[in-house]
Structure 1
Amino acid sequence: MGHYKILFLDIDGTILRPDDTIEDSTKTAIIEMKRQEIEVVLATGRPLHEISELAEELQIASFIGYNGALGIYEGETIFAEPMQPEDVKYILDVAAAHGHEVVCYTHEKNYLTSLESESVQAFLKQFHLRQNAIFTEGVIEKILGMTVITAGKNGDSLYEFKNGIHFSQVNVEGMQHCHDVIRDHVNKGIGVEFLLKKLRIKREESIAFGDGMNDREMLESAGEGFAMGNAHPDLFQYAKHKTTAFTDSGIYNGLKSLGLLSNKPVT
């Protein structure tokens, strides 16, 4: 058994089940990691102001949010990397030209191009986004992350990025037409590396679990990277390990394979 010190967990498709509940085995695993004095960090594309209830339920106070744009350790902000305004404007312009909707995230609120469209309403319901407002130019310098809600198939191909930006398809049932905007030098992996350096933790002492392509860099940056059984098919090649699905004790089984947990508990 290795001497591990930190565990990074994605949320959607990794911790949360389709009904927005958490498996008892996952809760047990997190409690046991804390008992073993292993730090637990939530690493998500979600805005952090929308996951306070989940964090409280799991008793977690450290986060990598907005796909790596904001890091918080034990309640203290340790890094923040807003997007370049010109990149935000380009995405908004292309979206407007093709009838796409966009969700822009700041530290305090979600700013959308529409609050009424069916696609936006479905997105807000799926991810329980409540702090919402219409986007205005006045917040363009505060944008930490974006999600583009495209229309039809291959809507993402309409965007031509030249500034180290790419799309990551949202790996949630019914939301595959949505794409997170990922920056090559601002992503979950960079956040993991920053936190490891700050805490003086070696790469081989870290573990990460994820399911979407926005988890690629995180799984590559951690010493033990696990792709969930339900992960995007393209993610497996970047993970050191494959575990079971998020609805089949994936986190528990992965940690068990490292010798950190005993037999699967009754759920």
Structure 2
Amino acid sequence: MYKLISFDIDGTLFSYDPHAYGISKATVSLLERLQSAGYILVVNTGRCWRDIPATIAPYFTYFILNNGGVLCNAKGETLSAIPIDSKTVQRFFQTCERMSKSFILKTKYQSYYYCNDGTYPPYLFYDNGVNFQYEAADLTTDAVYTLCMELEEEDLPQWRQSFPDLVFVHGGYRYYEINACTADKGNALFVLLEALQIKPKETIAFGDGMNDYAVLRSVGIGAAMKNGHPYLLRELEVICDSVTENGIEKLLVNLGILEGMLFKEAVHQTR
């Protein structure tokens, strides 16, 4: 019945638990087994291409990046893209510069950090979590798909009013991820499903954040991670244990997708 499985990365496949930080060997093994069983696996993340962990990349056939801003195949070839208008990016940059606000700018391939404390040059990119390398982003040629910044909740209405062609999605704490209004993970996944002639009801998706809601509410089974955003836990019917508790594997075994594996007990709640 199910043909395609969509995975968020951060908080879903990638654990931020200090005692089990990163992507576990069990998670890599799970992806390998699903690929071998013939399922189409899709990354559906806010990350850009360079930030996809090398340990899991080989198991995915398609990559939805930048919160749905970019859809590409395993070779990195773009299949569809919804960038933020370049004039909007310039105006956003000027506004942040005037207000001395730091932000992150993401192209398809790279994340650039703008710091206002004078410690670093205006733009730099973060290389695989290991070191900083300096490189200016050319806003005249590089398409920008995502902007990220910290905002106080009381300031959010003013930013939304100033940038009506952008959507601000809460990413945790005071952190907001910002995309073009028509770019989200759900829309990008539906573009892919239509191209592959796969129905939403033949799709399973896992996620933990508000940027996953458009996906999780619209597929055959949309599972929120137990460590996910409270809104998801209230609104969605299927909740699975965190990745550190092997929640994804448990749910797939319970659905009969992975038979004879380690975990047999039912672990998701249905209201």
**Which TM-score bucket, shorter chain as reference?**
0.7 to 0.9
Report the Cα distance in structure 1 between the residues aligned to 2:92 and 2:149, rounded to whole angstroms. Answer: 8
Structure 1 position 153, deviation (Å):
6.3
Q: Show the 5 A alignment for 1:99-118.
A: 99-114=100-115
The equivalent residue for 1:209 is 206
Distance 1:142 1:4, change over 3 A: same
The equivalent residue for 2:64 is 64
Q: Is the 8 A contact 2:69 2:179 kept in 1?
A: no
Distance 1:50 1:167, change over 3 A: same
The equivalent residue for 1:247 is 244
Is there any run of 5+ residues in structure 1 with no aligned partner, and where? Answer: none
Report the Cα distance in structure 2 between the residues aligned to 1:143 and 1:63, rounded to whole angstroms. Answer: 17
Distance 1:131 1:30, change over 3 A: farther
Q: Show the 5 A alignment for 1:44-55.
A: 44-51=45-52, 53-55=54-56
Deviations 1:232-259 (A, max 9, x none): 1012345341111232112112212322
Report the Cα distance in structure 1 between the residues aligned to 2:106 and 2:259, rounded to whole angstroms. Answer: 40
Report the Cα distance in structure 1 between the residues aligned to 2:156 and 2:261, rounded to whole angstroms. Answer: 41
Q: Is the 8 A contact 1:192 1:222 kept in 2?
A: no
**Alignment RMSD (CA, Å):** 3.1
Deviations 1:25-49 (A, max 9, x none): 4233322221221111111001112
Q: Is the 8 A contact 2:64 2:188 kept in 1?
A: yes
Report the Cα distance in structure 2 between the residues aligned to 1:221 and 1:132, rounded to whole angstroms. Answer: 41
The equivalent residue for 2:225 is 228
Report the Cα distance in structure 1 between the residues aligned to 2:155 and 2:128, rounded to whole angstroms. Answer: 20
- Higher relative contact order, structure no. (Cα contacts within 8 Å, ≥ 6 residues apart): 1
The equivalent residue for 1:13 is 11
From 128, 133, 136, the counterpart of 2:135: 133
Is there any run of 5+ residues in structure 2 with no aligned partner, and where? Answer: 264-271
Q: AA paired with 2:32?
A: I
The equivalent residue for 1:79 is 80
Residues 1:199 and 2:196 are matched in the alignment: yes
Deviations 1:67-92 (A, max 9, x none): 00111123232111111123323433
Q: Is the 8 A contact 2:84 2:145 kept in 1?
A: yes
Q: Is the 8 A contact 1:216 1:238 kept in 2?
A: no
The equivalent residue for 2:2 is 4
Report the Cα distance in structure 1 between the residues aligned to 2:237 and 2:34, rounded to whole angstroms. Answer: 20
Percent of aligned pairs sharing the same letter: 24
The structure with the larger Rg is 2
Report the Cα distance in structure 2 between the residues aligned to 1:130 and 1:79, rounded to whole angstroms. Answer: 30
Q: Is the 8 A contact 1:114 1:134 kept in 2?
A: no
Deviations 1:146-192 (A, max 9, x none): 11134x66554541246353222224xxxx22211134421100011
Q: Which deviates further from its counterpart, 43-52 or 196-205?
A: 43-52
Q: Is the 8 A contact 1:189 1:220 kept in 2?
A: no
Alignment size in residue pairs: 255
Q: Is the 8 A contact 1:208 1:224 kept in 2?
A: yes
What TM-score do you get using the length of structure 1 for normalisation? 0.82
Deviations 1:107-140 (A, max 9, x none): 233233228659x99x95996686763445424x
Report the Cα distance in structure 1 between the residues aligned to 2:78 and 2:37, rounded to whole angstroms. Answer: 25
What TM-score do you get using the length of structure 2 for normalisation? 0.81
Q: AA paired with 2:74?
A: E
Report the Cα distance in structure 2 between the residues aligned to 1:61 and 1:191, rounded to whole angstroms. Answer: 14
Report the Cα distance in structure 1 between the residues aligned to 2:119 and 2:244, rounded to whole angstroms. Answer: 31
